[in-house]
Amino acid sequence: FGASAGWKSVAYVNTLSLSRWSLWLAALLIGVMVKRASLERQFLTRLVVVLLVLGSLEALYGLVQAMVPTTGVLGHTLYYQGHARGTYINRNHFAGMIEMTWPLVLAYLLSLSPWEETRKLKVKHLINSDRFNRQLLIAIFLVVMLLALVFSRSRAGITGLALGFIAFMGAMAFSGAGLRRGFWLGTGAAVVLLLIYCGQIGFDSVIERFMKIDQETGRLNLWRDAWLIVQQHPFGVGPGNYEIVEPVFQVNAQTTRLSIHTHNDYLQLLVETGWPGFLLLTTGWLYLLVRGLVGLRRFFRHFGYSRHFFMAVGAWSGLVSMAFHSFFDFNLQIPANLFYFAMLIGILTHIFPSSYTHHHHKTAT
């Protein structure tokens, strides 16, 4: 594992690299397929309904785990007892999944409102709408998802939730769509419900998690060791090969367990792909976020309050949440969350000018 070997090798274990490349290729294909399918009139509606059902079931399971600590994950009870985690072993990955799901559910909820009928969406118009009962049900499930995320006690997940909400509001404002009084009343009601249920379940444990930030150095030690690898391997150790090299450079992280991930998606990308791969992919990632925000503004000017617009706003907000969360966890190393991530990219990029035609969205809901 000398420095000279790092300069010469593409990967220490080729089979691990092949496995990781296969995973990335699968994510790319999912993103492309979702992007193309999103141009169809009803695809996004069907997709968000599936995500609503899946996210709600995961959230309900997570709340049971939070209230009944002995409840495991499909019989597995070893880790994170008393934390909401759904069918995930790691609470942070559960939080990551909810982070990427709830903005799409909120977007779908808003798309059901009669935005085009009046510039001032009054409460009485909302209540008298035929869609009000459906919106109310969706709002309840949305609150359940947010409650489960809070009781995952994932600090990065909870902070990412807040940033995602800010990103959602910012994208709506930047695009020119804005938000009506009904949205703020609904948000206020949701916050009140969250506080009530948090008080009933016990919010103290969540606060305690944030108070322990300065007492935990596990991630920092992993990051220091990972940086040593980067210094010795500027061109990377090969995709999926961090777990092979890490024990040799384990200086700061004194643990008897093998560290498979750096708990930082960006740092792991740097370790495995080197500076060339890291700079290429992170530059592309930043370009996607900026172009996505600009694309939302352009799309709204052409097509107004279409469902495609709202779903793209939700996808962009979810990506912003994950952009933050990835600094502290390894959500994108987990196939399920990586595929969710690719799906959001597909939804966002389908509004880019090269992807749609006037005919596709002239009739969009």
Q: Reply yes or no on whether the pLDDT at 359 is more than 80.
A: no
Q: Reply yes or no on whether the pLDDT at 115 is more than 80.
A: no
Name the more confident of 188 and 76: 188
Contact 338, 344 (CB under 8 A): no
Residue 364 confidence (pLDDT): 46
Average pLDDT across the chain, whole number? 87
Among 27-31, 79-83, 137-141, 309-313, name the one with the lowest average pLDDT.
Answer: 79-83
Name the more confident of 110 and 211: 110
Q: Reply yes or no on whether the pLDDT at 51 is more than 60.
A: yes
Look up residue 262 and give its two tokens: 């750096």
Contacts of 276 (CB under 8 A, 6+ apart): 235, 236
Per-residue pLDDT averaged across 165-189, rounded? 90
> How many angstroms separate the CA atoms of 58 and 278, rounded?
33
> How many angstroms separate the CA atoms of 240 and 269, rounded?
9
Q: Reply yes or no on whether the pLDDT at 1 is more than 50.
A: no
Q: Measure the CA angle with vertex 120, ends 115 and 126; round to 5°.
A: 60
% of the chain residues with pLDDT over 70: 87
